[in-house]
A and B are shown apart, each in its own frame.
Chain A
Amino acid sequence: MATVKEMRVRIGSVKSTQKITKALQMVAAAKLRRAQQATEAARPYAQRMSAIISNLAAGVSGPSAPLLLAGTGSDKRHLVIVATADRGLAGAFNGAIIRAARQKIAALIAEGKDVKILTIGRKSRDGLRRQFGNRFVESYEVGLKSPNLALVQPIARYVLDQYTGGQFDVVTLIYSRFKSVVTQIPTVKQLIPAEVEKADGAGPAPFYDYEPDEDTILQALLPQNISVQLLSALLENQAGFFASQMAAMDNATRNAGDLINALTIQMNRTRQAKITTELIEIIAGAAAV
Chain B
Amino acid sequence: MADKILFELVSPEKLLLSKAVDMVTVPGTEGYMGVMAGHSPLVSTLRAGMIDMKDEGVDTRFFIRGGFAEINPGKVTVLAEEAIPMSEMDLAILDQRIADAQEDEIAAKTDADRARAAQMVDDLKLVRAAF
Contacts and interface: CB of A to CB of B under 8 A. Distances in A.
**Which bracket fits the contact residues of A?**
20 to 34
Interface in A1-58: 38, 41-42, 44-45, 48-49, 51-52, 55-56
A interface majority secondary structure = helix
Contacts, number: 77
A212 B42 contact: no
A207 B68 contact: no
Given A206-B72, A212-B29, A48 B10 contact: yes
B11 interface: yes
Contact of B43 (A42, A44, A149, A217): A217
B13 A209 contact: no
A44 B10 contact: yes
B64 to A, nearest CB: 13
Contact of B13 (A52, A148, A206): A148
B55 interface: no
Contacts of B44: 210-212, 217
A220 B70 CA distance: 14
B25 interface: no
Nearest to B116: A220
A103 interface: no
B41 interface: yes
A45 B10 contact: yes
A235 to B, nearest CB: 9
Given A149-B13, A211-B29, A211-B30, A48 B41 contact: no
B77 interface: yes
Nearest to A51: B70
Contact of A228 (B12, B14, B42, B45): B12
A216 B45 contact: yes
Contact of A44 (B15, B42, B81): B15
* Residue in B14, B82, B109 whose Cβ sees the most chain A Cβ within 10 Å: B14
Nearest to A214: B43
Nearest to A210: B43
Contacts of B77: 48
Contact of A41 (B15, B70, B109): B15
B28 A211 contact: yes
Contacts of A206: 41, 72
Nearest to A46: B12
Contacts of A227: 12
Nearest to B112: A219
A206 B70 CA distance: 11
Interface in B73-100: 77, 79, 81-82
Contacts of A56: 43
Ordered nearest first, which 10 A-B pairs have the shortest CB separation? A41-B14, A211-B44, A206-B41, A44-B15, A209-B42, A208-B41, A45-B10, A149-B12, A45-B12, A208-B43
Interface of B: 8, 10-15, 28-30, 40-45, 68, 70, 72, 77, 79, 81-82, 109
23 contacts: A38-B13, A41-B15, A42-B13, A44-B14, A44-B15, A48-B70, A49-B79, A52-B43, A52-B79, A149-B82, A206-B41, A206-B72, A207-B41, A208-B42, A208-B70, A211-B29, A211-B44, A212-B29, A212-B44, A217-B43, A217-B44, A217-B45, A220-B45
